[in-house]
Amino acid sequence: MMEFLYFPEDKTEYIPALISLVIFSIGAAVTMYLIYKHSKKEERRIDEKYSINSSSPASNEKQHSKQ
């Protein structure tokens, strides 16, 4: 019966797994960066679309306190 965990004697068998891990990790990091970038762009677009006369929340508070 084969053991559940297999640790090869020849450590070069780890190289393909390491390459796959690096490729998928880089892909995940790039994907998260692109999602973050798109999210910030969409946030700015929504803020511009629904803002009344100002672009920052601090100036919004000043306008509301004057009224």
Q: What is the pLDDT of residues 10-61, one digit of tens each?
A: 999 999 999 999 999 999 999 999 999 999 999 999 999 998 665 555 555 5
Band of pLDDT at residue 64, cut at 50, 70 and 90: low
State the amino acid at position 66 in one-letter form.
K
Which residue blocks in the chain are alpha helix, DSSP H? 14-50, 57-66
Q: Is the entire prediction scored with pTM above 0.75? A: no
Distance CA 6, CA 9 (A): 9
Q: Give 60: exposed, middle or buried? Use CB within 10 Å, 0-12, 13-18, 19+.
A: middle
